[in-house]
A and B are shown apart, each in its own frame.
Chain A
């Protein structure tokens, strides 16, 4: 057993566990904060985006398309180096969360919009023909169906969000990826450290994926 542990460099990883644990916690904190931010931002955007009022829709479309077609790493740099220039000296953590939330919020806005549009027009007409008010039709007929359609793609997007938190290592937040890099560079340890980091990410994304699967099943059975 000892030989096995030494052969794979596990005793070294064991000695560095507190560092990885700190990084792991920070990754979870960034992911959780960005998820809350992204979902809120996406929900806030989708109403005006679908309002049909051109002076509101056009700038929103431009924002969403611009964000979706540029790399997240540059958005992180822009918020980390750019926000202080306009008088907002925020911490690296908050800048990272703002950048991730604004990118994924734009994606979520599009996902929710296409989910609502995918509920067919007949459902609207049917609900109105039954004498429902527009408000009632929206909340009792359209949105519940849209929710079912939207949960799986939102889940995928949030898994991507978890993986994207690795990018904030570029602005010096010592989360999981950067903690691995620092351990390697300070100790000259070998690549097994990064295999371990990869395993931790895998556990994180898989667990989250399973939770989402349960949510999906729960919602489907309720309807």
Chain B
């Protein structure tokens, strides 16, 4: 029943590799970027925090697909000819960054205040408090959310096919246009995505359970 899917499996595997690359680049750099601005938002305040909040508000209120189209049309007109692939990776990074920064901010702010007071009493300076006291605790709390967010963004890499960048979903559409075997191809490709995403979901929910017992 799934003969068309299996006969095109090598092609889909190539697409899956491209999807994983997109995810690693977009989600990886986006997470690093988001952690930096999230911690900055929580610990610096003032103008920096306001600027980051506006950025997060803009990114989260607008669909990622619109950001991709915007990057796709805008960057070449501004003279930045970096290719479709990098335009969509850029928008994935910015998008992931906004969500991750909120997670990081929440985690930093949820570190109990007495921890910070004790660290001050021990004579630590502000940077060391952040590095040795706040970040290790915040990191642990935020890992499940970061994993869930990564799953969300891996799914979002499929949207780049609408803009016209080749990856797994685009490959699926090509094969369907050629063979008209819509059901088996789309369902099969969904299974490939499931195999990529579900392990992360399981790890996230296990960690969530473990941490919720400790509190």
Residues on A lying within 8 angstroms of B by beta carbon are 65-66, 68-75, 77-78, 81-82, 85-86, 163-167, 169-170, 177, 180-181, 184, 190-191, 194-195, 197-198, 201-202, 205-206, 209
Contact = CB atoms under 8 A, between A and B. Distances in A.
B74 A194 contact: yes
25 contacts: A69-B193, A69-B197, A70-B190, A71-B157, A71-B169, A73-B158, A73-B162, A73-B169, A74-B169, A74-B189, A74-B190, A75-B190, A78-B182, A85-B182, A85-B183, A169-B65, A169-B162, A177-B69, A190-B77, A191-B70, A194-B73, A198-B62, A198-B66, A202-B61, A205-B61
Contact of A71 (B62, B70, B159): B159
B182 A73 contact: no
> Lowest 3 CB-CB distances: which A-B pairs, in order?
A81-B182, A71-B158, A191-B74
Contact of A194 (B66, B156, B157): B66
Interface string B174-212: 001000001100110110011001100100000000000
A69 B198 CA distance: 6
Contact of B64 (A69, A163, A206): A163
B48 interface: no
A209 B77 CA distance: 33
Contact of B190 (A78, A166, A169, A205): A78
Contact of B65 (A82, A85, A177): A177
Given A78-B182, A194-B69, 10 more contacts: A71-B169, A74-B158, A77-B176, A77-B186, A167-B159, A170-B162, A190-B73, A191-B77, A198-B70, A201-B61
A70 B182 contact: no
Nearest to A80: B182
Interface string B131-159: 00000000000000000000100011111
Nearest to A208: B61
B172 A74 contact: yes
B24 interface: no
B58 interface: yes
Nearest to A86: B183
Contact of A191 (B73, B151, B162, B169): B73
Nearest to B184: A82
A151 B159 CA distance: 28
B70 A195 contact: yes
Interface of B: 58, 60-67, 69-70, 73-74, 77, 151, 155-159, 161-162, 169, 172-173, 176, 182-183, 186-187, 189-190, 193-194, 197-198, 201
A201 B190 contact: no
B8 to A, nearest CB: 15
B176 A81 contact: yes
Contacts of A75: 190
Nearest to A190: B77
Contacts of B183: 78, 81-82, 85-86
A78 B187 contact: yes
Contacts of B77: 190-191
A180 B62 contact: no
Most buried by A among B58, B73, B198: B73
Most buried by B among A166, A190, A205: A166
A222 to B, nearest CB: 27
Contacts of B182: 77-78, 81-82, 85
A119 B161 CA distance: 42
B62 A69 contact: no
Nearest to B196: A69
B69 A181 contact: yes
Most buried by A among B157, B183, B201: B183
Nearest to A68: B201
